[in-house]
Chains A and B, each alone.
Chain A
């Protein structure tokens, strides 16, 4: 029973390039969350998606960042024209139902983005 799968685990991009981070939720989970963690800090919520829908993107920067969770395939977090400040660990989590219903969200191992 595979857990939440994220890839790549480590990604190096030059300033101005694009970064694409992928997340396959646990089997049977249709809710996906993306969080960002800066060094020595906690996790900051970015976006919450269900299949083909963005439910809450209140934590997403207004520019350069986008997320999708298509009907088929993994959820994608896309960062265009990366800057050094985007260097962070990006975590995906999934759950069978929405937060607030007493269920746990399960995290992947994260994707570490380094912008040089």
Chain B
């Protein structure tokens, strides 16, 4: 079974609002990464957070990691229509590969 599961599956917000997506995983990890995928395109790396980090920022992105709860959240502040995409978390628990969840589909309404 997959390591990561995102929640919610779909999210629709107005431009300017904040969007929060969550990721839960099952086993201990070394790192957790978030990716974005626009429709019909490949995945673009957004941010990596290591297991010994609790929070990380990159521009309008804020990622938190709670290893005790085996969960992570991605916050996109002041959303824009261009943020419309699917967002995936990926974990590398088992060493040789990254496990992806099923993603959160974000729609930002102009």
Contacts of B100 in A (CB 8 A): 35, 42-45
Instruction: Give the residue name and chain of the A residue nearest to B105 (CB).
Output: A40
Inter-chain residue pair count (beta carbon < 8 A): 65
A107 interface contact, C-beta 8 A: yes
Contact mask for chain B residues 33-63; partner A; CB cutoff 8 A; 1 contact, 0 none: 1010000111111001010000000000000
Cβ–Cβ contact A41 & B99, under 8 A: no
Chain B interface, DSSP helix/strand/loop, else mixed: loop
Contact across chains for A100 and B2 when beta carbons are under 8 A apart: no
Contact indicator B42/A48 (Cβ below 8 Å):
no
Contact (Cβ within 8 A) A102 B102: no
**B residues within 8 A CB of A108?**
42
B92 surroundings in chain A (CB, below 8 A): 99-100
Instruction: Decide: A109 and B42 in contact? CB cutoff 8 A.
Output: yes
Q: Is A98 a contact partner of B95 (Cβ separation < 8 A)? A: yes
Cβ < 8 Å to B, chain A residues 41-61:
41-45, 48, 55-56, 59
Cβ-defined partner of B42 (8 Å) among A42, A91, A104:
A91
Question: Counting CB contacts under 8 A, is A65 at the interface?
Answer: no
Q: Are A106 and B45 in contact (CB under 8 A)?
A: yes
Q: Would you give the 0/1 interface string for A93-111, flagging 1 where the beta carbon is closer than 8 Å to chain B?
A: 1000011111011111110
Residues of A within 8 A of B103 (CB): 42
Say yes or no for A33: interface residue by CB 8 A criterion: yes
Contacts of B88 in A (CB 8 A): 42-43
Q: Is B64 interfacial (CB-CB < 8 Å)?
A: no
What per-residue 1/0 map shows which CB atoms of B91-103 lie under 8 Å from chain A?
Answer: 0100111111111
Q: Given A6-B42, A59-B97, A104-B33, output 7 extra A-B contacts at Cβ < 8 Å.
A: A55-B96, A93-B43, A98-B96, A99-B98, A104-B45, A107-B43, A110-B42
A sample of 16 cross-chain residue pairs with beta-carbon separation below 8 angstroms, ordered by A number, consists of A4-B42, A41-B102, A42-B88, A42-B103, A44-B100, A56-B97, A91-B42, A98-B96, A99-B92, A99-B96, A99-B97, A102-B48, A107-B42, A107-B43, A109-B42, A110-B42
Residues of B within 8 A of A (CB): 2, 30-31, 33, 35, 40-45, 48, 50, 88, 92, 95-103
